[in-house]
Amino acid sequence: MAYSKAWLNYQVVENIRFPFDTLYAETGDKRIQIAAQELQVAAKELAKIKLSLVSDSSQIQRAAKENGAIPAARVVKGGIFLEIDGEMQNEESYRISRQGRGLVVCGGGESGLLYGTFALIRIMQTDPQLLSKICSGKQTVEQAPANPLRMLNHWDNVDGSIERGYAGNSFFFVGNELVIDGRTRDYARLLASVGINGTVINNVNVRGAATELITERCLPQLSRLAELFSSYGVKLYLSLNFAAPIELGGLATCDPLDGQVQDFWKKKMEQVYAKVPSLGGFLVKADSEGRPGPFTYGRNHAEGANMLARAIRPYGGLIIWRCFVYNCRQDWRDRKTDRARAGYDNFMPLDGQFDDNVILQIKNGPMDFQVREPVSPLFSGLKETNMMLEVQAAQEYTGQQRHLCYLVPMWREILDFKTYAAGKGGDGADSVADIVSGRLYGQGNCGMAAVANTGDDENWTGHDMAAANFYGFGRLAFDTALTAEEIAREWVRCTYGCNREILDCMLPMLLSSWETYEKYTSPLGIGWMVNPSHHYGPNVDGYEYDRWGTYHYSDCRGMGVDRTMSGTGYVSQYNEPNCSMYEDIKTCPEELLLFFHHVPYTYRLKTGKTLIQHIYDSHFEGAMQAQNMLLNFDSLKHILPPGAFERIHTRLKVQADHAKEWRDRINTYYFRISGIPDEKGRTIY
């Protein structure tokens, strides 16, 4: 099937100044070979320049010497040098600078060089001024990745389906077989271009044939795939079935303290790494939503994770252990148990007990990727445990890639959240970004992961503009100082070229889309008002009487969940002053009001509006904004490339209609239950 180039859609940049004709690169390593090829292609497509490649070592050395000796002013055209600089501290960092009459792209290692090359190409695509400054020697660009690990988690099943996939089927698996083709390579190229250095290709729910990925049947193909990924600086990871000792090993148990189980894993890792030596490690979902785990045997999660970590240690592998552990058989009548508490309650007592090649992967919020949640208190609490932040590019609860919802602003807020882990009077360098990057606690095994939003759709992501989340995750994970706007701007330009009208139209669409989606779906942090199972579309009581621990407790007087000290006590999991801030309804951020408090409909918000009026207004506004987005987008009718306009327009239409359905259902529910009419007299059914 044909598929797009996404943001690597190199188009001619008008009036580009790129005065080079030769590319010098020792292409012994595949990553450098790829960097060189990529730069040649980009120069040709973007600037119509043919870069000749010189890869002979002595020729390069001679040219480098000459380049340094000749004053820049004497020549018109120069060379580009792709070099490794062993002095740079981080193998993945890069520097782009003018030296003599040449341009030097320098990497701390081969991956850094590849990232530097893609950075140069991105600057060519998006920032002529910066390019000019670099080429004229006025500016040097230097960058080390903020996070050591920058990963994607694919929830692809080996049968080719994708759990929570909204962009077609898997391009990794077809009919229980691993596929490696041109698209696999182009996928790795997209990852490298934004600095993603790891990917888990199979669903965290490992069942049936997926368990067999770590058997001889699959290892040869995995070895080929790992090699292909390595040539783009990407490590292959797999999700693992904790019950494999039973299902593959024929044992009666998968108890992590059982000698036979430990032996199974030791031998299994030996077998796997003999065939796939570059494998990064394994992602594990245990004791969660029906998956097996250490709890079955009365063991804790440290015992479970460490057992695997010790088996994989000889090969330098990592065990990434998900913290998404909660009671998914809760009784809705029980108002004391609070799912939001579960991650912290389960994992805080284990702080310091995990081996150093174990990483806890923690979802951004305490629930599950709702449009708005507070930041998980585990980031504030854990101090002696490797942590990775998990976000979800797949729009499970945020419109399923039929609605536009650019999530980088949300991720930006999460990274900026001040944890007070370094104490109340600290220097402030204890944001989530400081923690997951390893800066605060000096950790190396940490970083960010995103549940991927890709599939085999032509445009990779279902909604053309959902690719901004894929792109944005990689960029933000690499450089946590970027703003959501900078990333959006880059993505539009890389994808659609430098047309001003496209940028002027799409940039505000992207930047307002999260807030718009929040307004017409679930304002004030309540969440969960979706249809069960598939999670698409409004259903106020969809999860209200269910076993998932996700309630709003609406009655004729008010709504929301009391998580204060007199409620479930969840607020106590935060450091001060966050705990007190959430505890007090007056200081609790209003966007999270109903997450922390049960509030009467007549309660007045800071705007002076009552809660019920805010609910009505928010839904009317959100639906109107979705409608306006559709109308504004019309201006791009003859400007966007053929196909793109129609595809996006169709989805925006679906979104605008669906936003009205959200508005009417939620408003009707609250009008019926509260009996309080809309002050503005708009139609509520």
For a copy of itself, the binding residue among 159, 485, 664, 678 (CB under 8 A) is 664
Nearer to a copy of itself, 605 or 676 (CB): 676
Beta strand ranges found along 395-536 (DSSP E): 447-451
- The answer to whether the CB of 423 falls within 8 A of the CB of 334 is no
Nearer to a copy of itself, 40 or 613 (CB): 613
Judge if the upstream peptide bond of residue 71 is cis by omega within 30 degrees of 0: no
What is the closest distance, in whole angstroms, from the C-beta atom of residue 538 to a copy of itself in the complex? 7
What is the closest distance, in whole angstroms, from the C-beta atom of residue 671 to a copy of itself in the complex? 8
For a copy of itself, the binding residue among 33, 93, 554, 655 (CB under 8 A) is 554
- The answer to whether the CB of 303 falls within 8 A of the CB of 285 is no
3-class secondary-structure state, position 360: strand
What is the closest distance, in whole angstroms, from the C-beta atom of residue 323 to a copy of itself in the complex? 30
Query: Binding string, 425-444, against a copy of itself, x = CB under 8 A?
Result: --------------------
For a copy of itself, the binding residue among 429, 556, 565, 631 (CB under 8 A) is 556
Task: Kindly state the helix (H) or strand (E) to which residue 489 belongs, with its residue range.
Answer: helix 484-496
State how beta strands 102-107 and 78-84 pair.
Answer: parallel
- The answer to whether the CB of 163 falls within 8 A of the CB of 205 is yes
Of 51-59, 420-428, 481-489, 534-542, which segment contacts a copy of itself by CB under 8 A?
534-542
DSSP letters, 244-302, are HHHHTT--S---TT-HHHHHHHHHHHHHHHHH-TT--EEEE--SSTT---GGGGT--HH
State the Cα–Cα distance between residues 54 and 67, nearest whole angstrom: 14
Residue 66 lies near a copy of itself (rule: CB under 8 A)? no
Q: Within a 10 A sphere around the Cβ of 183, how many other Cβ atoms?
A: 16
Query: Binding string, 276-315, against a copy of itself, x = CB under 8 A?
Result: ----------------------------------------
What is the closest distance, in whole angstroms, from the C-beta atom of residue 650 to a copy of itself in the complex? 20
Is 368 catalytic? The answer is yes
* Phi, psi (rounded to 5 degrees) for 408: -60, -40
Is 66 catalytic? The answer is no
Residue 182 lies near a copy of itself (rule: CB under 8 A)? no
Residue 383 lies near a copy of itself (rule: CB under 8 A)? no
Residue 581 lies near a copy of itself (rule: CB under 8 A)? no
Cβ within 8 Å of residue 536, ≥6 positions away? 400, 402, 530
Q: Within a 10 A sphere around the Cβ of 1, how many other Cβ atoms?
A: 9
For a copy of itself, the binding residue among 295, 332, 536, 603 (CB under 8 A) is 332
Angle (deg, nearest 10), helices 611-633 and 500-521:
150
Nearer to a copy of itself, 127 or 657 (CB): 657
Nearer to a copy of itself, 523 or 538 (CB): 538
State the Cα–Cα distance between residues 412 and 391, nearest whole angstrom: 11
Number of chain residues interacting with a copy of itself (CB under 8 A): 22
Residue 603 lies near a copy of itself (rule: CB under 8 A)? no
Residue 541 lies near a copy of itself (rule: CB under 8 A)? yes
Please state whether 268 falls in left (phi above 0), alpha (psi between -120 and 50) or beta: alpha
Query: Binding string, 510-529, against a copy of itself, x = CB under 8 A?
Result: --------------------
State how beta strands 102-107 and 94-99 pair.
Answer: antiparallel
What is the closest distance, in whole angstroms, from the C-beta atom of residue 665 to a copy of itself in the complex? 5
Residue 665 lies near a copy of itself (rule: CB under 8 A)? yes
State how beta strands 94-99 and 558-559 pair.
Answer: unpaired
Beta strand ranges found along 66-140 (DSSP E): 78-84, 94-99, 102-107
Residue length of the chain? 685
State how beta strands 94-99 and 141-143 pair.
Answer: antiparallel
What is the closest distance, in whole angstroms, from the C-beta atom of residue 673 to a copy of itself in the complex? 5
Instruction: Identify which of 294, 451, 319 has the alpha carbon closest to the alpha carbon of residue 386.
Output: 319
Residue 536 lies near a copy of itself (rule: CB under 8 A)? no
Among residues 289, 416, 555, 584, the one annotated as catalytic is: 289
- The answer to whether the CB of 95 falls within 8 A of the CB of 116 is yes
Residue 678 lies near a copy of itself (rule: CB under 8 A)? no
Is 562 catalytic? The answer is no
CA 601 to mean position of chain CA atoms:
36
Nearer to a copy of itself, 2 or 685 (CB): 685
Residue 221 lies near a copy of itself (rule: CB under 8 A)? no
For a copy of itself, the binding residue among 278, 539, 627, 628 (CB under 8 A) is 539
What is the closest distance, in whole angstroms, from the C-beta atom of residue 534 to a copy of itself in the complex? 11
What is the closest distance, in whole angstroms, from the C-beta atom of residue 371 to a copy of itself in the complex? 20
State the Cα–Cα distance between residues 419 and 581, nearest whole angstrom: 12
DSSP letters, 434-469, are HHHTTTTTT-SS-EEEEE----SSTTSSSSGGGHHH
Query: Binding string, 100-139, against a copy of itself, x = CB under 8 A?
Result: ----------------------------------------
Nearer to a copy of itself, 557 or 682 (CB): 557
- The answer to whether the CB of 336 falls within 8 A of the CB of 487 is no
For a copy of itself, the binding residue among 15, 74, 333, 642 (CB under 8 A) is 333
Nearer to a copy of itself, 89 or 533 (CB): 533
Using CB under 8 A as the binding rule, the residues of this chain from 617 to 656 that contact a copy of itself are: none
Residue 329 lies near a copy of itself (rule: CB under 8 A)? no
Of 96-104, 349-357, 453-461, 553-561, which segment contacts a copy of itself by CB under 8 A?
553-561
Residue 451 lies near a copy of itself (rule: CB under 8 A)? no
Residue 557 lies near a copy of itself (rule: CB under 8 A)? yes
Active-site residues, by number, are 289, 368, 396
Binding site for a copy of itself (CB under 8 A): 332-333, 335, 538-541, 545, 554-557, 664-665, 668-669, 671-675, 685
